[in-house]
Structure 1
Amino acid sequence: MNQRTSRRFLVAAALSALACLEPARARAGDAEACFTASEEGQRLRDEGRLREARARFIACGGAGCPDLVQSDCAGWLTDVTARVPTLILSAQDEQGHDVADARVTIDGAPLAARLDGKAVEVDPGEHVLRFERAGSAPVELRLVVREGEKLRRVSARLARPGAGAIPPREDRDAPSPASALFLPIALGGAAAVSGVVYAALGLSARADADRLRATCAPRCTEADVDAVRAKILGANIAFGVGVAALGGAVAALVLRRAEPAAPAAATAVHVLPLPGGAAAALGGRF
C-alpha cells in the first residue's frame, strides 16, 4: 500500500467515525432540551403561569425525550390542564341585547378579538379585563380568577360615551311599595284577630259567670271558677295584643310616610300576663 492510498484510508475512517457520532450528539442535545423544558415547566407552574407551563410539559412529554422525563411531564401536563381557569365573556348594549363585535384585553394583552360564546383560558390571579366596542365607552372589570375555576361567566354593559350610568344593583333591588306595606298589613291583621279572640273569650266568660251565679253561687267549685278566670285572662291578653298591634300598624304607616328612604323600623310587641289581666307594650328601633 503506497502513501497516497494509506492517507485516503485514514480520511475515510475519520469521516465514518464522525458520522457515527452525529446521532449520539443529536440525541444528547434533544435530551438536554427535554430536561430544560421540564425544569422551566415546573417553575412556570409554581409561579401561576399555567398556560406557559403547559406548553413546556407538552414539549418534554414528546416521543423524542427520555422515558422517565416523558412520564413525569405527562403527569404534570394532566395536572396543569385541570388547573387552568376558563372564562365565558359576553357583552350587552344599552338595551340589554347581546353584542359580538367587542374585543377584550387582559392586563393590556389581547384575549378575545370577538365574543363568540366560547370559553377562553387565562392564568389564575388578579386581572383587569377591558371590553371595547366601536361607538361605546370602554369598560374595565377587575376580578380574581381561581385555579381550577371553569366556565366562569363575565359580562359587561357597553353604553355610548356620555350616556347615563346604569343604576347600581342596590337601586334595582330596592323593595317595592307592596313589600314596604307588609309590616302595617301584618300588624293590622294581628289586631283584627286579637279583637275576634277577645270578643269570643269575653262573651264565653260572661255566659259561664251568669250560669254559675244562677246555679251554684256562692258555693261553686274551684274548678268552675278557675275556668271562668282563665277565659277572662285570655280575653284581657288578646285585648292587649290587639291594641299594641293596632298601634304598631299606625306607627309603621306614619314612619313610612315621614321617612320613605329610611330603613324599615323594627317593631316588637311585648305582652306580660298579670293577675286579673295583662300588660302590653310596643317597642321599636328606628
Structure 2
Amino acid sequence: MKRTSVLASAIAAVLSSVTAVPGARADGPRDARKNDSAAECVAAFDRAQDLAGRRKLTEARELYLTCARESCHTLVRRDCADRLERLERDQPTLIFGARDRDGRDLANVRVTVDGAPLDGQKLALGVPLDPGEHEVWFELPPYAAKLETVVARVGEKNRAIVVTLERASAPSSSGAKTEADPPPSKALPLGLAAASAAAALGFAAFGVAGFAEKNELLDRCAAACSAREVAVVRNRYIAADVLLGVALLTGAAAAYLSLRPEPPRPVVRARLPRLSEL
C-alpha cells in the first residue's frame, strides 16, 4: 500500500479509536458531525491521491482543497496543503485568445475545451488543465468556428493559444440555380460532341446520296453521262469526306476535354501565429 494511503488509514483509525475509548461519551449531534467531517477529510485526501496519480489534476485539486480546510485534522490538513502546493506547481495553465486576419484582437470569444465552456473572464488569466491532449473550439459569430488540438504539458505555465478567425462566407442567393446548371468546364465538350454528331449525320446523308446517284448514272448513261451530272456526284462525295473529317476532329476534341482531369482548386488554409510572433 502506498505511504499516503497508509497515512490516511492510520489517521482514520486514530480518529475512530478516540470515539471508542471506554468511558468516552458522545455529546450528541455535535460529536457526530465532527466524526463525519473527519471521515470526509480522510476520504478526500485518499481520493485526491488516486486522481493525481492518474494525471486528473483538476479534480484532485478540488479534493485537496476540501481536506486542507480548517475543520480537518491537523495531520490531514498539513499533508493536503503540501500536496496541493505540489499539484499547483505541476498543473499546466493556458491563455486563450483570437484575432482577425488583420491581427486585431477579438473580444467575447467563446472557448470550449473538451466540450466544457470556459469562463470568458478567465481566458486571459491562465486556465488550469489536466496534462495531455485537448480539443479547443473558438466561436465568435460572424466568424467561422475554429477547432484546435492542444497538448498541455506538466509544469507549463500561461502558454498562449491564439488563433486567427476568418469571416464565414455568405451562402450564394442563386445556389439552387447553380447546382441545376452543368459545370462550366463541361459546356465545351458537350458542344463539340453535338457538332461531331451533326457532322456524322451530314457525312452519312451526303455519302448515301452520292452513292445512290452514282449507281443511277452507271445504270442510265455510264461513260456517256454529261460532265455536269458527274460533277454533282463528285461534289456529294467531297462534302461527305469533309463532314467525316469534321466529325472525327470534333469527336476527338470532345473526348479529350471530357476525360482530362480538372485542375485542382485552390484551398485556403488559415495561418496560426507561432509562439515567437505573439
TM-score (norm 2): 0.51
SS at match of 1:89: strand
For structure 2, the residue ranges without an aligned partner over 5 or more in a row are 1-23, 171-266, 273-278
TM-score (norm 1): 0.49
Q: Distance in 2 between matches of 1:27 and 1:115?
A: 36
Match of 1:165 among 262, 265, 268: 268
Q: Do the aligned partners of residues 115 and 78 (structure 1) sit closer, same or farther apart at CA in structure 2, a change above 3 Å counting?
A: closer
Relative CO higher for 1 or 2, CA cutoff 8 Å, sep ≥ 6?
Answer: 2
Q: Distance in 2 between matches of 1:81 and 1:89?
A: 19
Q: Do the aligned partners of residues 168 and 159 (structure 1) sit closer, same or farther apart at CA in structure 2, a change above 3 Å counting?
A: closer
- Contact kept in structure 1, 2:164 and 2:271, CA below 8 Å: no
Q: Which amino acid aligns with 2:154?
A: E
- Contact kept in structure 2, 1:48 and 1:123, CA below 8 Å: yes
For structure 1, the residue ranges without an aligned partner over 5 or more in a row are 1-16, 170-286
Q: Which amino acid aligns with 1:127?
A: H
Deviation at 1:118, TM superposition (A): 2.3
Deviation at 1:24, TM superposition (A): 2.4
SS at match of 2:118: strand
Q: Which amino acid aligns with 1:156?
A: V
Deviation at 1:115, TM superposition (A): 7.7
- Contact kept in structure 1, 2:131 and 2:151, CA below 8 Å: yes
Q: 1:152-202: CA deviations, max 9, x gaps?
A: 011111111239834658xxxxxxxxxxxxxxxxxxxxxxxxxxxxxxxxx
Higher strand share: 1
Deviation at 1:23, TM superposition (A): 2.7
1:46 paired with 2:53, answer yes
- Contact kept in structure 2, 1:89 and 1:115, CA below 8 Å: no
SS at match of 2:28: helix
Deviation at 1:28, TM superposition (A): 1.2
Match of 1:128 among 105, 126, 135: 135
Q: What does residue 26 of structure 1 align with?
A: 33
Q: What does residue 261 of structure 1 align with?
A: none
Deviation at 1:53, TM superposition (A): 0.8
Deviation at 1:116, TM superposition (A): 5.8
1:150 paired with 2:157, answer yes
Q: Distance in 1 between matches of 2:106 and 2:81?
A: 40
Q: What does residue 85 of structure 1 align with?
A: 92
Which one is further off, 69-78 or 112-121?
112-121
How many residues align? The count is 153
1:105 paired with 2:112, answer yes
Q: What does residue 141 of structure 1 align with?
A: 148
Q: Do the aligned partners of residues 48 and 25 (structure 1) sit closer, same or farther apart at CA in structure 2, a change above 3 Å counting?
A: same
Q: What does residue 74 of structure 2 align with?
A: 67
Q: Which amino acid aligns with 2:80?
A: C
Q: Do the aligned partners of residues 34 and 78 (structure 1) sit closer, same or farther apart at CA in structure 2, a change above 3 Å counting?
A: same
- Contact kept in structure 2, 1:105 and 1:130, CA below 8 Å: yes
- Contact kept in structure 2, 1:103 and 1:115, CA below 8 Å: no
Q: Distance in 1 between matches of 2:144 and 2:270?
A: 16
1:57 paired with 2:160, answer no
Backbone CA RMSD of aligned residues: 2.4
- Contact kept in structure 2, 1:138 and 1:158, CA below 8 Å: yes
Q: How does 1:179-218 map to 2 (within 5 A)?
A: none
Q: Which amino acid aligns with 1:165?
A: V
Q: How does 1:241-280 map to 2 (within 5 A)?
A: none
Deviation at 1:25, TM superposition (A): 1.9
